[in-house]
Amino acid sequence: MKLSALPEIAALLAAHGQSFAEQGNAVSVQVIGDYYVYSRNRFNRWMRLLDHLESGGETTASADGTRGVRIESGIPLIREVSEQILINEMLARVWTILLIAQDRHRGCSDSEALATNVLLGHQALRRRLLRLCRSEELVDSEFSLRIEHLRRETEVWTDILCCPFMKRYDLWSFACDEEDARDYFRQRQERCALDSDSAAWVAMLGGLRDSFSEVDQTAVLVAQDDVRIIRLMASCFPASCTEINWLTARLPLGV
């Protein structure tokens, strides 16, 4: 699975977010614990890769950071890591908002602490990455502009997808930009989470795909720990969310 599929997965989770929040069975403690462990392992992998880049190491690498050069793709390591961290944060923020929305719907806070902790760790990684991408000694200006554009696209789309939940459950503090998120909500014709069968969903999906078309042109793949996290997220949705079930069936086996 290519990394460019992740924004669409985030949109799909958000489209079924209200069903997720209102379902009878809450996300289990086991699932939250597994999510934390998988995310911690991924955090450690990215930290090793950022350490490697900051120390002036090789510019291309394998997805798990264990080898110096990825011969089959030759993608610059800094681009691969940048796209992985920025796009995965979009998925992590959507998931965090949905978990807390479910908590609020049930009148509890079972998931909030760990989910927020994972998101804060991801944000710390992103800040470190962006400092690296703005270093004139390590990257050129064209690359810096490309990464800045990707950062902005992930933020805008996250807030567009999640603004109905922010409004309904008072989760504005989880917006990438609260003022923009409130504005997106005011502009929405449908003041609720998108229905994946609606015309608005089709139009929005087309815009989202266009926004991440440059990522789609590269051969960056979703890492194994990302697949585990996506599979875990998908397993928590009601059986009636057929698109989510279809997504799970598409994920690589043996992960």
Spell out the per-residue pLDDT of the chain, length 255, in tens. 788 889 999 999 999 999 999 999 899 999 999 999 999 999 999 999 999 988 876 554 444 443 343 333 457 888 889 999 999 999 999 999 999 999 999 999 999 999 999 999 999 999 999 999 888 676 788 888 999 999 999 999 999 999 999 999 999 999 999 999 999 999 876 555 566 667 777 788 888 989 998 876 666 778 888 999 999 999 999 988 888 877 766 666 544
**C-beta separation of 179 from 115 below 8 A:** no
The rounded radius of gyration (Å) of the Cα atoms in the chain is 18
Q: Which of 115, 52, 55, 46 is nearest to 87 (CA)?
A: 46
Kindly give, in sequence order, each residue whose CB lies less than 8 Å from that of residue 213, ignoring residues fewer than 6 positions away: none
Q: How far apart are CA 18 and CA 20, in angstroms?
A: 5
What is the per-residue pLDDT for 254? Answer: 47
What are the CA-CA distances from residue 132 to residues 140, 143, 155 (Å)?
Answer: 11, 11, 19
Q: How far apart are CA 97 and CA 162, in angstroms?
A: 7
What is the per-residue pLDDT for 223? Answer: 85
Whole-structure pTM value: 0.88
What is the per-residue pLDDT for 19? Answer: 93
Q: Give the pair of three-digit tokens for residue 168.
A: 């309904």
**C-beta separation of 216 from 4 below 8 A:** yes
